Structure 1
Amino acid sequence: MSPLSKLFNHARRYRKHAVLASVYSALNKFFDVLPEILIGVAVDVVVSKQDSFLAKIGIADTQSQLIWLGILTVLIWGGESLFQYLYSVAWRDLAQNLQHDLRKEAYAHVQRLELGWFENRSSGNLLSILNDDINQMERFLNTGANMILQIVCSSILISIVFFVIAPGIAVIALLPVPLILYGTFWFQRRLAPRYADVREAAGRIGGRLNNNLFGIATIKSYTAEDFEAAHVDEASRAYVTTNAAAIRLSSAITPVIRMAVLAGFVVTLVYGGYLALHGQIAVGSYSVLVYLTQRLLWPFTGLAEIADLYQRSMASIDRVLGLIQTPLAIPYEGERLPRELVKGAVRLEQVDFSYDGAQPALTGVDLDIAPGQTIGFVGSTGSGKSTLIKLLLRFYTPKSGRILLDGHDISALDLQDLRRAVGYVAQEPFLTDGTIADNIAYGAPSASRADVEAAARSAEAHEFIARLPLGYDTPVGERGQKLSGGQRQRIALARAILKSPPILVLDEATSAVDNETEAAIQRSLARVSRGRTTLVIAHRLSTVRQADIIHVLEHGRIVESGKHDALLDRGGIYAGLWRLQTGELDTAGAT
């Protein structure tokens, strides 16, 4: 199935719109062809007078014939203009609506894809598909589809006129058409893979630019502007080289078609003139044939532009539909579990997981968390702490074993219900480009301003928010760049508090903040953890010191568990980490 067929098969709801737009295009072309026929009729009136075609159908007076020609000309041009307006609006409306629906559908599908899918793909390439590729499809529907239809319609209409007036000339004049079509399709088949490569090259440029813009502060701090500019230059040159190969091939179409058009036109001009001179066809008919030959064959020179636009669009449509049709590894639908019924009991049974299928991230993890407990997870980088949380949120699926929430296997739960039950505060929280109030109410859009402020007070964020010129209406900027790291963390915590989830997760939320912010988060945590299951991943052990149970992970296994004091008394890994962080190890070494 061709990409265009896939597109219209995918967008069934727009078939009536496409048919109506096509009818308008055909009617416009019908009226567009008629003026050339009128020119022939006018010549016939001037040359033949009372023996003209119009005289034979009952309009004998030459003056009346000219008046009727004028009236018909106005009507024909009016009809052509009307249907040009209608097809222009219809095709553009179709293009706009279809690109809107495709972009919305593609983005909605991307949001449902599992986290692991994103780790192997460039965000810049995804942006290229969601934006540029869909726009490329829109450009084709705006102009290319109408141009193809009008060439087909004009070919049919003019061929009918040719065969009515001079069948012999028609056969000879139309001989180049099959050659033109065959040549066009021959070029198209060779253009398709080239334009697929062009779209991939464009995606790589987008990925490089997107990556650099996100890391602009690092680039500046390391004075790596020239280094990164060279990378962009390399990606851009690759795009230019790839595109040049396609351009060279597409540019060859027009000269080939021109030669075929010339052959048809010369035949009509010479052979038709010969027939007119010898009285075998009327002078007016000869005039019509000369004009119509040009009208028939000359539009075929536009096939080069159409073929180029078509192949670029088909390459884009393939990428967009390929994205939409990417299967979901983690289904969203499942057993319903409303948030208000969740108690917060979590159990892991012999959970194994690996990101790459080779190196284990978790091995044989057994864990039982009672509702309302505050549980701390500590360990070195790569020990598996954050992986536990990602599995609980079903960003990934365990290789073996299972995770239960209140006795329900989370793999069978509705994914939205599961995630609504969890308030998640990441190490680097995401803030949307809105106001502070918008970000706090992100998970609860119906919350009142009083609810937003209460959540901010619980997160000890109200004081710094009140000092801002616009208070809760202060814009945070893209990704919250107008705020400090500690301020972003407190807003993220307020957002989780306002969501009021049965389970609260803090994934190293204090690892990159100052002591004052850490103390504020700890005070907030002591308040908001009451009555809900709270899971805290921490590098700073002071954050989990008051936890009901602390689990120490090493190489994907839980190697120690217990309260803070008990773990210190044991003198194991946790005790070593505590001494390292508090400076006791240095003191002991000095003595």
Structure 2
Amino acid sequence: MLVSSPAHSFQALLRLLRYAKGYRRRIIAATACSIINKLFDIAPEILIGVAIDVVVNQEQSFVASLGFETPQQQITMLAVLTFVIWAGESLFEYLFQILWRNLAQRLQADMRQDTYEHAQRLDMAFFESRSSGQLVATMNDDVNQLERFLDGGANAMVQVVVTVVVIGAVFFVLSPLIALLAFTPIPLIIWGAFFFQRKAGPLYSDVREKVGDLASRLSNNLSGIATIKSFTSEDREAERLREASEAYVDANRRAIKVSSAFIPVIRMAILAGFLATFTVGGMMALNGSLNVGAYGVLVFLTQRLLWPLTGLAQVIDLFERAMASTRRILDLLEVPITVKDDSTTPLAQPVRGEVTIDNVSFHYATSGVGVENIHLHAPAGNTLALVGATGSGKSTLIKLLLRFYDPENGRVLIDGQPITDISMNSLRQSIGLVSQDVYLFEGSIRDNIAYGKPDADEAAIIDAAKTAEAWSFIETLPQGLDTPVGERGVRLSGGQRQRLSLARALLKDPPILVLDEATSAVDNETEAAIQRSLKRIAHGRTVIMIAHRLSTIVHADEIVVIEKGQVAERGTHSSLLAADGHYAAQWRVQTGEAQAGDVEAVSSL
């Protein structure tokens, strides 16, 4: 939980202003309209005092000295001036509402977009260490908190300052003594505001954390609803959600308890200032040392001076919530990008697809596992298969090829070009990935197949679907290519999702195709269909396959066995069987020809 203080909050405000430097003209215009509106808003109280002066002193009034001789002329002039003031106040209220609200909408939309685009460029390690619910809460709820402050709180802060400065100036012109008495409670009010802000600040930081936890819980549970149902865990998960929700409610309750105590305490300070003006000013008017009209102005303006300060509670409440959210948003925006896309150089065309992993070492910061001194070479148009136990480092090599991470030592090259010397876009456009964990986007089958090539025509989409052996089930669906797949593809079977994933990669037509356990979660019929597809797909392109089912890789040009982050064996299927090592032992287990010790050898892989 962040420890908040006025200094931290104003530091967050300065960071926000630096971020919003492109909006300065809008901020200045909105602030100017707020100031002018408040000047018009204060003026009627002054006019009331002037009107009293006209009624009491008539030809000797202040207005008479301006050239309006008769009381009737003076009242008429005040009536016209009153109309102008009210019209001006209404006009500038309309303007500041439009300006502040549009600024709030524009800034929140741009900040959410900037945050999302920055998050997309962050390393995979960042996403592996963060909850998606927390990120959604930052990009959505935190941004909305800032919008609420700009929508009303910013104008309120400006107008409180204007009220104190302008009314203070009027007071000191009319009666310095009463000004001192009226302003006496202000230090107490301001001290109280910051006292409550210091108390409420950490509480609202806690509120932001709790809403992130709640969003994360909801996101995880809705994504895992099938698992929850299958384990009959509905009641347990509902209780865990209730606990997260109650923690959010309790955090808000603690913050509300502190912020709600502000107004009753400050109200008494306001009463003291008003009574001082009322009694002392009245005595001065009675003995003739203070003009009656001036006394009326002071009495009316005392309330206008002090009462808006009670709004500091709500303003500081909005301000603190917004600054707690701003810190989270800007902290996310300032997360450094380690794997940087510094190059604009594309891969040399045409891309042949030769892949070289040259003495590469890499270890994950959290676990320390990874790969050590790996050297692999896949000539253009060849098929390279990687096998090994879960966690041996196979998928890590794919992540290094795609530059999800950069190696600690060594290089990854495509067609002899180090991938760090080419643009990310050019690199990833040249690689098609089909993963075990298929992710389909909510939308139609057509949308998902064409995801990597949105401008593809229907004939190309159908051709990719046929090549991936997905067309046979697509054409049986009532809506065909326009069939909705549901969130993450829940309306389709695992095999159907896998075929669509393969079709999506094929439509992209990459020179390098990566299959990361692409058939491990499908039935035998689907596996056979995908294998038929792969024989056609592999022609003319480099294929890198990660597989547990060895039957899917027997035709690979080279098979590499990875064990504990290092190359244990390499060769063709027949040469590895002849070597009678780990690969041969695993083959016998999978084909039902296991010998004594084979199971132990396979389990160590």
Partner of 1:479: 488
Which deviates more from structure 2 when the two are superposed, residues 214-223 or residues 81-90? 214-223
Q: Name the SS of the counterpart of 1:227 in structure 2.
A: helix
Asked if structure 1 preserves the Cα contact closer than 8 Å seen for 2:54 and 2:61, the reply is: yes
Whole-angstrom CA distance in 2 between matches of 1:141 and 1:377: 55
Answering whether residue 424 of structure 2 is matched by residue 415 of structure 1, we say yes
Answering whether residue 179 of structure 2 is matched by residue 205 of structure 1, we say no
Asked if structure 2 preserves the Cα contact closer than 8 Å seen for 1:339 and 1:417, the reply is: no
Q: Name the CA shift for 1:167/1:335 in 2 (closer, same or farther; >3 Å).
A: closer
Partner of 1:191: 200
Whole-angstrom CA distance in 1 between matches of 2:446 and 2:45: 67
Answering whether residue 192 of structure 2 is matched by residue 159 of structure 1, we say no
Partner of 2:178: 169
C-alpha offsets along residues 458-486 of structure 1, whole Å, 9 cap, x if unaligned? 11112221222221122222111121111
C-alpha offsets along residues 211-250 of structure 1, whole Å, 9 cap, x if unaligned? 1111111111111112222222222333333333333332
Residue number among 545, 567, 574 corresponding to 1:536 in the alignment: 545
Q: In the TM superposition, what are the counterparts of 1:543-554 in structure 2 within 5 Å?
A: 543-554=552-563
Whole-angstrom CA distance in 2 between matches of 1:339 and 1:128: 42
Q: Give the gaps of 5 or more residues in structure 2.
A: 1-9, 599-605
Partner of 1:462: 471
C-alpha offsets along residues 474-511 of structure 1, whole Å, 9 cap, x if unaligned? 22221111211111111111111111111100111111
Deviation at 1:306, TM superposition (A): 0.7
Which deviates more from structure 2 when the two are superposed, residues 6-15 or residues 230-239? 230-239
Residue number among 370, 374, 383 corresponding to 2:379 in the alignment: 370
Aligned residues: 589
Whole-angstrom CA distance in 2 between matches of 1:10 and 1:544: 53
Deviation at 1:77, TM superposition (A): 0.8
Whole-angstrom CA distance in 1 between matches of 2:43 and 2:369: 75
Q: Name the CA shift for 1:81/1:335 in 2 (closer, same or farther; >3 Å).
A: closer
Q: In the TM superposition, what are the counterparts of 1:12-91 in structure 2 within 5 Å?
A: 12-91=21-100
Whole-angstrom CA distance in 2 between matches of 1:325 and 1:69: 56
Whole-angstrom CA distance in 2 between matches of 1:145 and 1:250: 18
Asked if structure 2 preserves the Cα contact closer than 8 Å seen for 1:339 and 1:421, the reply is: no
Residue number among 262, 269, 272 corresponding to 1:260 in the alignment: 269
Deviation at 1:185, TM superposition (A): 2.5
Whole-angstrom CA distance in 1 between matches of 2:411 and 2:63: 88
Whole-angstrom CA distance in 2 between matches of 1:458 and 1:505: 16
C-alpha offsets along residues 262-282 of structure 1, whole Å, 9 cap, x if unaligned? 111110111111111222222
Deviation at 1:309, TM superposition (A): 0.9
C-alpha offsets along residues 310-342 of structure 1, whole Å, 9 cap, x if unaligned? 111101000100000110111012251237432
Partner of 1:294: 303
Partner of 1:558: 567
Whole-angstrom CA distance in 2 between matches of 1:86 and 1:375: 66
Output the TM-score relative to the length of structure 1: 0.96
Whole-angstrom CA distance in 2 between matches of 1:472 and 1:357: 43
Amino acid aligned to 1:521: I
Whole-angstrom CA distance in 2 between matches of 1:351 and 1:509: 25
Asked if structure 2 preserves the Cα contact closer than 8 Å seen for 1:91 and 1:142, the reply is: yes
C-alpha offsets along residues 408-458 of structure 1, whole Å, 9 cap, x if unaligned? 222333222211111001112211122211111111122222221221111
Asked if structure 2 preserves the Cα contact closer than 8 Å seen for 1:372 and 1:530, the reply is: yes
Amino acid aligned to 2:176: P
C-alpha offsets along residues 559-584 of structure 1, whole Å, 9 cap, x if unaligned? 22222233233332222222222223
Answering whether residue 123 of structure 2 is matched by residue 114 of structure 1, we say yes
Asked if structure 1 preserves the Cα contact closer than 8 Å seen for 2:278 and 2:299, the reply is: yes
Whole-angstrom CA distance in 2 between matches of 1:337 and 1:346: 16
Amino acid aligned to 1:453: I
**RMSD over aligned Cα, in angstroms?**
1.9
Residue number among 504, 509, 534 corresponding to 2:513 in the alignment: 504
Whole-angstrom CA distance in 1 between matches of 2:348 and 2:99: 47
Residue number among 99, 108, 112 corresponding to 1:99 in the alignment: 108
Partner of 2:6: none
Whole-angstrom CA distance in 2 between matches of 1:64 and 1:478: 75
Whole-angstrom CA distance in 2 between matches of 1:472 and 1:8: 48
Which deviates more from structure 2 when the two are superposed, residues 117-126 or residues 555-564? 555-564
Partner of 2:503: 494
Answering whether residue 274 of structure 2 is matched by residue 271 of structure 1, we say no
Asked if structure 1 preserves the Cα contact closer than 8 Å seen for 2:347 and 2:422, the reply is: no
Q: Name the CA shift for 1:299/1:51 in 2 (closer, same or farther; >3 Å).
A: same
Q: Name the SS of the counterpart of 2:475 in structure 1.
A: helix
Asked if structure 2 preserves the Cα contact closer than 8 Å seen for 1:511 and 1:538, the reply is: yes
Amino acid aligned to 1:14: Y
Q: Name the SS of the counterpart of 1:341 in structure 2.
A: coil
Q: Name the SS of the counterpart of 1:47 in structure 2.
A: helix
Deviation at 1:586, TM superposition (A): 9.1
Deviation at 1:129, TM superposition (A): 0.5
Q: Name the SS of the counterpart of 2:594 in structure 1.
A: helix
Partner of 1:125: 134
Partner of 1:314: 323
Amino acid aligned to 2:179: A
Whole-angstrom CA distance in 2 between matches of 1:109 and 1:146: 30
C-alpha offsets along residues 517-575 of structure 1, whole Å, 9 cap, x if unaligned? 11111111111111111011112222212211111222222222222233233332222
Amino acid aligned to 2:205: A
Whole-angstrom CA distance in 1 between matches of 2:329 and 2:569: 49
Amino acid aligned to 1:179: L
Answering whether residue 204 of structure 2 is matched by residue 215 of structure 1, we say no
Deviation at 1:406, TM superposition (A): 1.6
Q: In the TM superposition, what are the counterparts of 1:331-480 in structure 2 within 5 Å?
A: 331-334=340-343, 336-338=345-347, 340-356=349-365, 359-480=368-489
Asked if structure 2 preserves the Cα contact closer than 8 Å seen for 1:339 and 1:502, the reply is: no
C-alpha offsets along residues 23-78 of structure 1, whole Å, 9 cap, x if unaligned? 00000001101111122222223333333332332223333333322222221111
Whole-angstrom CA distance in 1 between matches of 2:278 and 2:38: 24
Answering whether residue 190 of structure 2 is matched by residue 181 of structure 1, we say yes
Amino acid aligned to 1:580: V
Asked if structure 1 preserves the Cα contact closer than 8 Å seen for 2:517 and 2:546, the reply is: yes
Amino acid aligned to 1:75: V
Deviation at 1:587, TM superposition (A): 12
Asked if structure 1 preserves the Cα contact closer than 8 Å seen for 2:372 and 2:566, the reply is: yes
Partner of 1:517: 526
Asked if structure 2 preserves the Cα contact closer than 8 Å seen for 1:506 and 1:535, the reply is: yes
Asked if structure 1 preserves the Cα contact closer than 8 Å seen for 2:201 and 2:320, the reply is: yes
Deviation at 1:159, TM superposition (A): 1.4
Deviation at 1:9, TM superposition (A): 0.6
Answering whether residue 240 of structure 2 is matched by residue 231 of structure 1, we say yes
Q: Name the SS of the counterpart of 1:550 in structure 2.
A: strand
Sequence identity of aligned pairs in percent?
A: 53
